[in-house]
Amino acid sequence: MIALEIADLILIASRTLGLDTGQVLDLVDVAAAENALAEAQPGSGSADPALRAAALLHALARQRPLRPGNQQVALAATLQFLAINGWDLDPDPPGPLATMVAGLTVGMVGTRDAAALLAPRLRSRDQHNRPGHHDHPKEPAMRPRPALPLAERIKFALEPRRTRVHPRGFTDRHKQAVELSLEEARRLGHDHLGTEHLLLGLLGAGDGVAVQVLASLGIPLDEVRSRLEGIIAPGPGARAGRIQPTPQARRVLGLTLREALALGHHDVGTGHLLLALLREGHGIAAQVLTALGADHARVREQVLGLMAGADEQAGPQTRLVRVAIPAGLADALEQLAQVQRQRKAALDAEDMEAAAALRDREDQLRASKLRLEQQWAAGVDVQAVVAENQRVHRELDRMRGLLREHGVKPDDGTAQTA
């Protein structure tokens, strides 16, 4: 039988109680939930669905992982457990069912009593497919999945962080997005580059990871653009000179590298820029994206999924253009983690002198990391990106000219370049 996991239980609680995931996490006792689910694991008891469902319901009622709302969630989780294993429970009459859950909670009803009440109400979902039952189309049984404890799931979630990553550079799509964001700022008559311009740039940079992620989340690009333009007031007009990034935009550009590092990606792309906009959290871009239903966790999942298949990296459609990233940043991160581990070990060993020395070293490394990130972010905004793009475009024009001189008609501009 397919068992429920902690993520299932939180999702069930979210839908049953009308709360978002964060609100459920504020209520749930994860250890109690894990205990209850472990008691109902396959192999730990009978294959009788009524008994297994009763065991789960009893464990959830007794362990009370949620307060308040536990009884509702325990019942909903039990119904879901039955459903994913091909069983429906007759809802009528509802009174005895509710009384049974309350009785399990206070210890007046046991697992076998509950199983005896559930058994006559159970219907195989296959029965609904027989003649005369049209409320459920025939569907195959749900695919069994390995039931893993939360610790194992978290271990997998952290796995990409274990890789020692040295980012190679920006994808050309990322660079295009940043350049477009500058154009958007000029078009709007602004002398600053804000998160709103960065998001407009992402939208204009074609079918990159960011745009694919937004589409996969059902967020229409036109709506994003429309909302942004509804918020942004036109400036006094384009001025000559350098467009300065706002502190928020500068922070976003720094966070972009962090997002790539955190996911173990070598190439910094538009997906990481989108994640950084959400991580920053306060800019116009984050407000618009959040209002349209995007959140960091969902976007991160989508970016991971998309980039696991086809990275925004060297290939026929996108070409990497290297931009110098402070060479020591990845090393600084690793050194920092190492010093923190050593300091913890010193504290555990009650070697306060060593811990104090390591604390000083840690402060130095933190300052160094911050400085490197700021240098990196400062170099991103206009100089490296635009200069490299212009250089590549000039080179492309030169190549086209050479081709024409030799009687070869170059493509009409559809070739992908930086």
Partner 1 sequence: MPMKPGSTKNLLLRLDPELAGRLQTVADVEGRPVSDVVREAITALVEQRRGDERFLRLLEENLARHRQALDLLKDDQQ
Residue of 42, 102, 107, 415 interacting with partner 1 (CB under 8 A)? 102
Check binding of 37 to partner 1 (CB under 8 A): no
Residue of 297, 310, 349, 387 interacting with partner 1 (CB under 8 A)? 297
Residue of 45, 69, 204, 281 interacting with partner 1 (CB under 8 A)? 69
Hey, which residues between 119 and 158 contact partner 1 (CB under 8 A)?
A: 139, 142, 150-151, 153-155, 157-158
Residue of 1, 59, 70, 104 interacting with partner 1 (CB under 8 A)? 70
Hey, which residues between 329 and 348 contact partner 1 (CB under 8 A)?
A: 333, 336-337, 340-341, 344
CA 86 to chain centre: 31
Cβ atoms of 212 and 219 closer than 8 Å = no
Count other Cβ atoms within 10 Å, centred on residue 319: 16
**Half-sphere exposure (Cβ direction) of 36: Cα atoms closer than 13 Å:** 30
Check binding of 94 to partner 1 (CB under 8 A): yes
Check binding of 108 to partner 1 (CB under 8 A): no
**Total site size for partner 1, rule CB under 8 A:** 65
Cβ atoms of 60 and 70 closer than 8 Å = yes
Residue of 39, 45, 48, 89 interacting with partner 1 (CB under 8 A)? 89
The string of DSSP codes covering 328-358 is THHHHHHHHHHHHHHHHHHHHTT-HHHHHHH
Residue of 117, 262, 354, 386 interacting with partner 1 (CB under 8 A)? 262
Hey, which residues between 40 and 59 contact partner 1 (CB under 8 A)?
A: none
Kindly state the smallest distance separating residue 10's Cβ from partner 1, in Å.
5
Check binding of 282 to partner 1 (CB under 8 A): no
Could you tell me the CA-to-CA distances from 239 to 92, 273, 367, 393 in Å, in that order?
Answer: 72, 27, 36, 24
- Helix, strand, or coil (residue 321): strand
Q: Which two tokens stand for residue 208?
A: 């990159």
Question: What is the gyration radius of the CA atoms in the chain, in angstroms?
Answer: 28
Check binding of 298 to partner 1 (CB under 8 A): yes
Residue of 26, 353, 411, 412 interacting with partner 1 (CB under 8 A)? 26
Residue 409 region by backbone torsions, left for phi larger than 0, else alpha for psi between -120 and 50, else beta: beta
The answer for residues whose C-beta is within 8 angstroms of residue 307's C-beta and 6 or more apart is: 209, 263, 265, 269, 271
Peptide bond into 93 cis (omega under 30): yes
Q: Which two tokens stand for residue 276?
A: 């950084």
**Half-sphere exposure (Cβ direction) of 21: Cα atoms closer than 13 Å:** 8
d(CA 21, CA 12): 10
Q: Which is nearer to partner 1, 88 or 113 (CB)?
A: 88
Kindly state the smallest distance separating residue 150's Cβ from partner 1, in Å.
6
Residue of 71, 195, 256, 270 interacting with partner 1 (CB under 8 A)? 71
Count other Cβ atoms within 10 Å, centred on residue 195: 28
What is the per-residue binding string for partner 1 in 353-372, x denoting contact by CB under 8 A?
--------------------
Q: Name the one residue in this structure whose structure tokens are 């190549």.
A: 399
Check binding of 387 to partner 1 (CB under 8 A): no
Interface ranges with partner 1 (CB under 8 A): 5-8, 10-12, 14-16, 21-22, 25-26, 29-31, 34, 64, 67-72, 75-76, 79-80, 83-84, 88-89, 91, 94-95, 97-98, 101-102, 105, 139, 142, 150-151, 153-155, 157-158, 161-162, 258, 262, 295, 297-298, 300-301, 333, 336-337, 340-341, 344
